[in-house]
Structure 1
């Protein structure tokens, strides 16, 4: 058949500098989300060996509501609720699936999902599957969120409002104004849904997340992914027990999916124990992050970073990918990010600082980046 329509789409992507392809890992890690260096650490290797030795299954064998519900799943959910300070928790196969479950299930017809303009694609997919009305507010602007909510009310909106934000934004690395958004949620009787994906393990007491101090509130629902700083995979939805039970009973991506591996649940339990027992790991991560901020400013004139994610916006798609290729050729695994992942005209290098990369390598990378930016500012 040839599939000419699909071939033409791919050719157009190539011409615009937006064609994507899989690349093998190579060079120093400046692109992963393994912020605490746990993914390849002996802590998790040992936990895996111990779990297998005590008979934890590798596969679940079915959905959680059939025979796939393992003791490791339930132990993890109990321990996660305690660690993150919430009534209950639900273990899902991944953050994308978890966000789909939340926004396709909990907001109902007549409700409003009020979301940050830069909210993750998984939230958009969940909203498309749901029945609630949706409105965006300007990025990290609590005043605009209030204004959009007021307009909705004035137009006759009377349902439950769900405010959806990321704690740390995955492509900009900036922090949500959670205090202001929580105040808005309280004033309007809204539910604040906080995606802690890039915050878990890095922010908050013992790495409990940027919104840890509000997580126990009855109008807050938090999502903690397990495949980033925790070094494993999966996701934990944490919040009021009634919302967790609703997901168990109504979320299609939970009901009809094979349960996550029990072995994986055992490894997430080990990762949470590591956060609680070894706060020095998080301290070392922040030493590297602050070192990166300082070197980015000293060598490249880049400033105003807030997290372990350092975006270097170049703008043009092809120039961005050329800069990434130059850095990769010098041994730095940095990837170019283009639309639709980021808004048009904001293609960037997304630099991620993890415990996998020591300070001298960070300095060397910014030295090389400074030379490249002179050619592609």
Structure 2
């Protein structure tokens, strides 16, 4: 008999609804991770870590960065990343969730408004929950709705700063934000843009710098996560120096967290160098996208032009069954279910990762056409 009967009941209820989650190792062709360039197990990143160990970079940090955990490797990375992304300053943190939580719990103040896309990541919601500013959502990728919400807020007496939070590329639908429209809104309403580049960094923009506009004339904070296309872990917050200093002094997820391994900073430094000197990684990813888009169109599967293609199933148990059948065929896809996606839109999230080859794309779509013809008209 478990001492936690109510928790056991909740697990049973999740299982009955097809939403019970469990950890499973990766097997077969990788169509589910975020390793978009294939850097995660690259020789180059492994050598960078080995070389860092050889020159005395420690495995662990030993504490928070405000105590003794501020290794010189972090500061090298931040200087190089600021130069690479064209930012005034940069702060390296343990992960994208921690970075978004820190930003949105710390920077927006009482009397401000955080206006966010309806589909932003859970990490942003967690930061807003912990913060003191008012929060509202606008319809996904709907700049007109965002502008209307700001006007209504001002008309009702809102006087603080507006923080406009969105992702440049959304992880579950694979669609891009209309950034020019949101820059115009930020300019008109004197708002700060918070742009999460998690799924764009490394793939898009000059040398993989992402989709955030360069030489932008509005205040902008950009988050580049390091555990996806960059193949390592952590996150880089690029912003004005006042923002970075404020986070160092006031952001609890930064102040009270043990710093990440300095070896990860060395790996990220290597990944940024590869983006600048070895375009073949991005070129291969672009070729995979082109092939997958053509294959998707041939079977009637919608896509938005990115490396993420959602295959909407709808029913939670049906999504699990289809994922299991594809895994049995050697294709590692996973079912994504509510609350990660809206109710009734359970799906397989097809992710084009860097170690795939063109023949693997063909295998996936021919198998899909056989196993799920009703989903690919």
The 3-state SS of whatever aligns with 2:135 is strand
The 3-state SS of whatever aligns with 2:185 is helix
Q: Report if the CA contact (8 A) 2:174-2:303 is conserved.
A: no
Aligned length: 375
Residue equivalent to 1:26: 27
Residue equivalent to 2:53: 52
Residue equivalent to 1:196: 197
Query: For 1:3 and 1:61, how far apart are their aligned partners in 2?
Result: 35
The 3-state SS of whatever aligns with 2:136 is strand
Instruction: Quote how far apart the aligned CAs of 1:374 are.
Output: 2.0
Structure 2 residue 273 is the aligned partner of structure 1 residue 293: no
Query: For 2:213 and 2:286, how far apart are their aligned partners in 1?
Result: 18
Structure 2 residue 219 is the aligned partner of structure 1 residue 251: no
Deviations 1:324-350 (A, max 9, x none): 111001000000100000000111110
Query: For 1:296 and 1:167, how far apart are their aligned partners in 2?
Result: 23
Query: For 2:224 and 2:54, how far apart are their aligned partners in 1?
Result: 28
Q: Report if the CA contact (8 A) 1:194-1:223 is conserved.
A: yes
Matches within 5 A, 1:337-352: 337-352=336-351
Q: Report if the CA contact (8 A) 2:296-2:303 is conserved.
A: no
Provide the TM-score with structure 1 as the length reference.
0.98
Residue equivalent to 2:71: 70
* Unpaired runs of at least 5, structure 1: none
Q: Report if the CA contact (8 A) 1:218-1:240 is conserved.
A: no
Q: Structure 1 residues 282 and 27, CA, compared in 2 at 3 Å: closer, same or farther?
A: same
> Stretches of 4+ moved more than 4 A in 1?
none
Instruction: Quote how far apart the aligned CAs of 1:304 are.
Output: 3.5
Matches within 5 A, 1:138-157: 138-157=139-158
Deviations 1:112-168 (A, max 9, x none): 000000010000000000000000000000000001111111111110000000010
The 3-state SS of whatever aligns with 1:213 is coil
Query: For 1:112 and 1:303, how far apart are their aligned partners in 2?
Result: 35
Residue equivalent to 1:220: 220
Query: For 2:290 and 2:57, how far apart are their aligned partners in 1?
Result: 40
Cα RMSD of the aligned pairs, angstroms, is 1.1
Residue equivalent to 1:174: 175
Query: For 1:253 and 1:303, how far apart are their aligned partners in 2?
Result: 38
Provide the TM-score with structure 2 as the length reference.
0.98
Query: For 1:264 and 1:346, how far apart are their aligned partners in 2?
Result: 36
The 3-state SS of whatever aligns with 1:312 is strand
Residue equivalent to 1:133: 134
Instruction: Quote how far apart the aligned CAs of 1:375 are.
Output: 5.1
The 3-state SS of whatever aligns with 2:22 is coil
Query: For 2:175 and 2:7, how far apart are their aligned partners in 1?
Result: 36
Query: For 1:368 and 1:191, how far apart are their aligned partners in 2?
Result: 45
Structure 2 residue 247 is the aligned partner of structure 1 residue 239: no
Q: Structure 1 residues 163 and 136, CA, compared in 2 at 3 Å: closer, same or farther?
A: same
* Unpaired runs of at least 5, structure 2: none
Instruction: Quote how far apart the aligned CAs of 1:108 are.
Output: 0.4
Residue equivalent to 1:265: 265
Query: For 1:285 and 1:213, how far apart are their aligned partners in 2?
Result: 23
Instruction: Quote how far apart the aligned CAs of 1:213 are.
Output: 2.2
Q: Structure 1 residues 37 and 212, CA, compared in 2 at 3 Å: closer, same or farther?
A: farther
